[in-house]
Amino acid sequence: MSEADKQPNTSSADTGPDLDDTPPLLGSWRNIYIVVLGNLVLLIVLFWLLTAAYT
């Protein structure tokens, strides 16, 4: 978890980008990262099964 994850919302409405860092779904960035990495694991397993089935 990065330092930014722990920071409160610090929106800068003046000139720069919004530093608001609240994920829109799943509650936390950690959960979103788990989904991305879980998807990778699933793909590797799928590739493994396809390799085994057709080789």
Partner 1 sequence: MSGIDWAVMLSTIGLIVAYGVWKTRGPQTADAYIRGGNTLKWPAIGLSIMATQASAITFMSTPGVAFERGMGFVQFYLGLPIAMVVISAIIVPIYYRQRVFTAYEYLEGRFDLKTRLLGASLFLISRGLAVGISIYAPAIVLSTLFGWQLETLVIALGGIVIVYTVSGGTRAVTQTQKQQMIVMMGGMIVAAVVVVMRLPDAVSLDDALAVAGSLGRMEIIDPTFDLGNRYTLWSGLLGGFFLALSYFGTDQSQVQRYLGGRSVTESRLGLLFNGILKIPMQLLILFVGVMVFVFYQFSAPPVHFNQAYVAAVYETAHADDYRALEDDFGVAFVDKQQHIQALLTARAEGDEPAVEAASAALKASEAKLEAIRGDAKRVMQLALGKNERETKDSDYIFISFVVGHLPIGLIGLLMAVILSAAMSSTASELNALGTTTVVDFYKRLGRGTPTDRQLVVATKGFTIMWGLVAIGFASFASVLDNLIEAVNILGSLFYGTVLGIFLVAFFIKRVGGTAVFAGALCAQAVVLGLFFGTDLAYLWFNVVGCACVIVFASIAQLVVPAPQR
What does the binding site for partner 1 look like in residue numbers (CB under 8 A)?
Answer: 1-5, 15-24, 29, 32-33, 36-37, 39-40, 43-44, 47-48, 50-51, 53-55
Q: Report d(CA 2, CA 55) in Å as an integer.
A: 43
- Least Å from the CB of residue 45 to partner 1: 9
For residue 31 the two structure tokens come to 């959960």
Residue 11, CA atoms < 13 Å, CB-side half-sphere = 3
Name which of 8 and 55 has its Cβ closer to partner 1. Answer: 55
- Least Å from the CB of residue 26 to partner 1: 11
